[in-house]
Amino acid sequence: MARNDSELVLDIRKLGLMDKPGEWSTLTTTVAAPEDLRIEVIGVPAGSPLELDLRLESVVEGIYVSGNVKAVAQGQDARTSEDIELPLDVAVTELFVYELDPEDEESYVMDNGRLDLEPAIRDAVVMALPFRPLKDGDAEDFRYTLGEDIVEEVPEADPRWSALKDLLDE
């Protein structure tokens, strides 16, 4: 683990959850957001508040973490490039295992009883960010006009086709 001094690294032994299936603990706190919680046009700025409301449950394989992470993403509207803020409420459900099975690519591994929430939070938050963020009320198709609105006139029926139209109407 690269960041053992982070607020997002928990010592499971101090919480009394190590190797005690069935025990659980809650974690409700606000921490500074780590770097790289972003995609190209929108993201959670480093150091901004990240509200954690998590439940840590000891299971046979490790620690199951579930709950919500709340933050405010800042970026640019994909259509207008105006600054926008987007409140996020992201669900986190991850298993942190004591020992990683070589075939298991989904779980996170703990290091000496220390659980680093940062990769799981990063994955959940970044996946929840919109690829094309838009301001509220901007969900409809983009339109613009120069000068006056252009109104298309309905063409008059060609008299040469009237006989065919009469046949179709029957």
Q: Which domain holds residue 78?
A: 9-145
70, part of any domain: yes
Q: Please indicate, yes or no, if residue 151 is contained in any of the structural domains.
A: no
Provide DSSP, 16-77: T-TT-TT-EEEEEEEEEPPS-EE-SSEEEPTTSEEEEEEEEEE-SSEEEEEEEEEEEEEEE-
pLDDT, tens digit, 9 for 90 and up, residues 35-88: 888 988 899 999 999 999 999 999 998 899 999 999 999 998 888 888 889 999
Return the pLDDT at 13.
86
Mean pLDDT value of segment 17-43? 89
Mean pLDDT on 102-119: 86
Residue 110 lies in a domain: yes
Dist CA 39 CA 124 (whole Å): 13
Residue 155 lies in a domain: no
Do strands 108-109 and 83-97 pair parallel, antiparallel, or not at all (unpaired)? parallel
Quick check: is 69 in a domain? yes
The number of distinct structural domains making up the chain is 1
Does any domain span residue 1? no
Looking at residue 131, what is its pLDDT?
Answer: 84
Percent of the chain residues topping a pLDDT of 70: 88
Is residue 153 a part of any domain in this protein?
no
pTM of the full structure: 0.71
The answer to whether position 4 is within a domain reads no
